[in-house]
Amino acid sequence: MKHRSPLVTLAAVAVAFAIMFTVNMLSGPPGSSSTGTAGPSSAAPAPASASSASSQPTETAVASPSPSASQTTEESKFPEKVVYAGRTKHGSAAIAVAVLGDQSAAYFCDGRNIESWFRGAVRGADTSLKSRSGVALQASLDGDHMKGSVQIKKDTLKFEINEAKKPAGLYRARGSKTTVGWIVLEDGSEVGVQTTGADSTAAPQLDPENPQVTLGGENLDAKPVNGDEDL
Amino acid sequence: MTSVPVPAPQAPPAEPSGTKIAPVVIAFALGTAVAIGLGVYGRLHTPSGHAVNIAGFSSGAAAKAALASVAMALAIVQTVTAMGLYGRIPLRGAWVGTVHRWSGRLAVLISVPVAVHCLYALGFQAYDGRVIAHSLLGCFFYGAFVFKMLILTRDDSPKWALPLAGGLVLSGLTALWVTAVLYFLIV
């Protein structure tokens, strides 16, 4: 004797898979299908570099340049998953660059009131990233560390940063109104900025072992940024 | 809707005369093919890095954790009712089979959005042990599910086939839950 109902169940699951895939493909971010040009040219042109990253928290992935990643033919020379972090030359500001596969994310902040989030793609030993406001950050693998530069308010800021092993690294927390970024350095020191609307101030202390902060009565979990997140 | 085999006590020992091993092998092969196909797709396509979120949760990960936990709870219902069907615990009545079938259907349907998010947004990844295990298990689970559904279509499979398939499905889901939700909750 044969039964048909398990086949019906199988078919129903297959159809559910197909529906979910279709929904996902149709609702991809603007960049994923329409952007034919390389690079994150779809980033919104906002004026200020500071605090611009969190000014449109609802538009996820607008600055995501992942389409360019799929066009590259050059294999990433970076480790599959790595974070570099360090202070900028001459200053207390810090930069962290996270690379995951062929995608990258970066964060610059001065620990007081300037911050910027970047998303980008990896090509060989280079990664180029852009912030939502169009600020560019370039970085290259140089031995086991990373060299690069970023435009901050008309100055070109150079940096040379080392691999940051956990608990060091790049962390981010997002509440209903506030976005916080922290760069935790290998020596345990932290540089972070929180932004609410257009106001940026120093971030609260983060314990990377127990990454929870309370902001404006809201309990937020800080998550490590790996490189493929929507920022 | 009469797919679950007759409870063991009533089943006349159809073995060894009427059992056939070939359909089990075919079902296993098809399940394996599905598992490999999912893995190859997950590895080859470029992860999108994002997918549709389900409203009402604090994050995509929270939504996935919640759905996966519902599926896991239903899997426990599956285990208990299966034990009843096989006479291992005193659960009797037609409702046991019905509960078993529908909890299973619901569980696997609930798992689909989670799996699609994994496959579409994240892909098959191998950057640490947990992630490798989770990626392999995700493929394994749907392969095992296909195997079990195909075995259910016939009454002439050996007695061990169905518990084996069910056990594989349950083990797969449990390990998936541990390598993702438990990790999400405690780390």
- Residues of chain A with pLDDT below 70 are 1, 28-73, 90-91
Q: Establish if A220 touches chain B: CB-CB under 8 angstroms.
A: no
Beta strands in chain B (DSSP E): none
Q: Which of B116, B125, B153 sits opposite A17 (nearest CB)?
A: B116
Task: Tell me if A122 is assigned to some domain.
Answer: yes
Residues of chain B positioned with their CB less than 8 A from the CB of A101: 47, 125
Q: How far apart are CA A46 and CA B145, in angstroms?
A: 50
Judging by beta carbons within 10 Å of its beta carbon (0-12, 13-18, 19+), is residue B106 exposed, middle or buried? Answer: middle
One-letter identity of residue B139:
C
Q: Longest Cα pair distance anywhere in chain B, in angstroms?
A: 57
Q: Nearest Cα to B144, choosing from B35, B70, B39, B42?
A: B35
Kindly provide the ipTM of the predicted complex, given to two decimals.
0.83
Tens digits of per-residue pLDDT, B141-179?
999 999 999 999 988 999 999 999 999 999 999 999 999
Q: Establish if B15 touches chain A: CB-CB under 8 angstroms.
A: no
Residues of chain A positioned with their CB less than 8 A from the CB of B2: 3, 5
Residues of chain B positioned with their CB less than 8 A from the CB of A29: 50
SS3 B58: coil
Kindly report the nearest CA distance between residue B105 and chain A, in angstroms: 7
- Residues of chain B with pLDDT below 70 are 1-17, 47-60
Task: Tell me if A52 is assigned to some domain.
Answer: no
Task: Tell me if A111 is assigned to some domain.
Answer: yes
Interface of A with B in 8-67 (CB under 8 A): 9-10, 12-13, 16-17, 20-21, 23-25, 27-29, 32, 60-61, 64, 66
pLDDT recorded at residue B128? 77
Domain span at A71: 66-161
Pairing of β A223-224 and β A169-174 = antiparallel
- Determine the length of chain A: 231
Task: Tell me if A181 is assigned to some domain.
Answer: no
pLDDT recorded at residue A29? 53
3-state SS, one letter per residue, for chain A: CECCHHHHHHHHHHHHHHHHHHHHHHCCCHHHHHCCCCCCCCCCCCCCCCCCCCCCCCCCCCCCCHHHHHHCCCCCCCCCEEEEEEEECCCCCEEEEEEECCEEEEEEECCCCCEEEEEEEEECCEEEEEECCCCEEEEEEECCEEEEEEEECCEEEEEEEEECCCCCEEEEEECCCEEEEEEECCCCCEEEEEEECCEEEECCCCCCCCCEEEECCEEEECEECCCCCCC
Residues of chain A positioned with their CB less than 8 A from the CB of B103: none
What is the count of structural domains for chain A?
A: 1
Cβ distance of B48 and A7 shorter than 8 Å? no
- For residues A66 and A194, the answer to whether their CB atoms sit within 8 Å is no
pLDDT recorded at residue A28? 59
Pick the residue from chain B with its C-alpha nearest to A2: B154
Q: Establish if A198 touches chain B: CB-CB under 8 angstroms.
A: no
Task: Tell me if A176 is assigned to some domain.
Answer: no
Task: Tell me if A223 is assigned to some domain.
Answer: no
Q: How far apart are CA A106 and CA A96, in angstroms?
A: 5
Task: Tell me if A79 is assigned to some domain.
Answer: yes
SS3 B74: helix
Q: Establish if B51 touches chain A: CB-CB under 8 angstroms.
A: yes
Task: Tell me if A75 is assigned to some domain.
Answer: yes
Q: Establish if B50 touches chain A: CB-CB under 8 angstroms.
A: yes
Q: Which of A6, A13, A32 sits opposite B48 (nearest CB)?
A: A32
